[in-house]
């Protein structure tokens, strides 16, 4: 088995790929997700499997990296830590310092380029942070945006005002002119998220050197996508687990 790990700022997502079966992208023998705390407290979820190697994207810092490294070491699993580079798996990374790009964003771009070859796209990943990145049909990662994620945005209002409560979104809420406080907060945060995605698509579509007859795809991913999508006024595709798919692509390079 090949173990893929996407360690994000809130949760750790993982998948096992049965490399004997010539699996498709996103075709996993096992898949799961655990919080950092559960990972620290409980048995490693993949400990019951024979794993030949692991490929890991970690944007959650050195303490979690050490925990992951120790856990993999105990199982004698060799590990490859993803670091963003200038080029990999068809993506050419135009970040000023290519290694500064979050490796989850790099893996996501690689995944979307593999799933939608020869198509320009905006990929929005709605997690702890929301990132919105632009990739050309030739696989050039132009750059992107980092915004607070939906929950962080709403929490920052509750933490920094006297009168605003802590709220969570539900999948039935949209960005509209709300007539009570809780809905108005969710509406404002949804509008900020969906509006940023729409603006990114609009600006990318208007780039003169975007060498494509088709408008860029809008790909939406991440745990908060289901809340934001009802407020999106543009055509889009929803695809889950792009970081893990990117790691699967990288593992087969
Ligand atoms: N009820 C909710 N209301 C608002 N936002 C929510 C709600 N439930 C989940 N979210 C959002 O979804 C995110 C969880 O998404 P996901 O599971 O992809 O990511 P994550 O593991 O938190 O992200 P990362 O990979 O960045 O760590 C939360 O950070 C939050 O922004
Ligand atoms: C933006 C996040 C937090 C999204 O998970 C991550 O990709 C990250 O820590 N990036 C490093 C900074 C950058 O991508 O420019
Ligand atoms: K994040």
Residues making up the binding site for substrate = 95, 102-105, 181
- Number of structural domains (the chain) is 2
Q: Write the CA distances from 133 to 56, 80, 123, 193, 232, integer angstroms.
A: 21, 24, 5, 14, 17
Establish if 190 belongs to a structural domain. Answer: yes
- Scanning 54-180, the segments in alpha helix (DSSP H) are 62-74, 103-115, 150-160
Confidence (pLDDT) at 23? 93
Establish if 91 belongs to a structural domain. Answer: no
Within 6 A (CB) of ligand 1 lie: 8-11, 127-129, 149-151, 168-169, 222-224, 227
Answer yes or no: 118 catalytic: no
- Residue 100 φ/ψ, nearest 5 degrees: -80, -20
Residues with CB under 5 A from ligand 3 (ion): 8-9, 127-129
Establish if 205 belongs to a structural domain. Answer: yes
Residues making up the binding site for ATP = 6-13, 128
Establish if 246 belongs to a structural domain. Answer: no
ipTM for this model: 0.94
Per-residue pLDDT of the chain (253 residues; tens, 9 = 90+): 999 999 999 999 999 999 999 899 999 999 999 999 999 998 899 999 999 999 999 999 999 999 999 999 999 999 999 999 999 999 999 999 999 999 999 999 999 999 999 999 999 999 999 999 999 999 999 999 999 999 999 999 999 999 999 999 999 999 999 999 999 999 999 999 999 999 999 999 999 877 667 889 999 999 999 999 999 999 999 999 999 999 999 999 8
| Same domain membership, residue 222 and residue 122 | yes
- Residue range(s) defining the domain that contains residue 138: 118-150+180-241
Confidence (pLDDT) at 211? 64
Confidence (pLDDT) at 208? 81
| Same domain membership, residue 143 and residue 66 | no
């Amino acid at each position: 088995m090949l173990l893929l790990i996407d360690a994000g700022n809130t949760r750790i997502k993982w998948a096992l790929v049965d490399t004997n079966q010539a699996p498709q992208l996103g075709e996993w023998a096992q898949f799961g997700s655990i919080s950092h705390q559960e990972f620290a407290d409980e048995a490693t979820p993949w400990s019951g499997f024979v794993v030949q190697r692991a490929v890991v994207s970690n944007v959650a810092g050195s303490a979690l990296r050490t925990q992951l490294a120790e856990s993999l070491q105990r199982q004698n699993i060799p590990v490859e830590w993803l670091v963003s580079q200038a080029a990999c798996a068809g993506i050419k990374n135009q970040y000023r310092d290519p290694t500064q790009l979050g490796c989850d964003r790099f893996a996501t771009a690689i995944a979307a380029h593999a799933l939608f070859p020869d198509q320009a796209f905006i990929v929005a990943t709605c997690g702890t942070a929301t990132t919105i990145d632009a990739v050309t049909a030739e696989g050039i990662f132009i750059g992107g945006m980092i915004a607070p994620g939906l929950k962080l945005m709403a929490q920052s209002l509750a933490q920094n005002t006297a009168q605003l409560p802590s709220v969570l979104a539900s999948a039935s809420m949209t960005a509209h002119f709300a007539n009570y406080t809780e809905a108005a907060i969710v509406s404002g945060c949804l509008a900020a998220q969906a509006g940023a995605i729409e603006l990114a698509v609009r600006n990318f579509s208007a780039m003169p050197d975007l060498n494509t007859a088709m408008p860029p795809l809008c790909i939406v991913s991440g745990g908060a996508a289901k809340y934001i999508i009802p407020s999106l006024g543009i055509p889009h595709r929803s695809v889950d687990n792009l970081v893990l798919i990117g790691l699967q692509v990288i593992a087969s390079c």
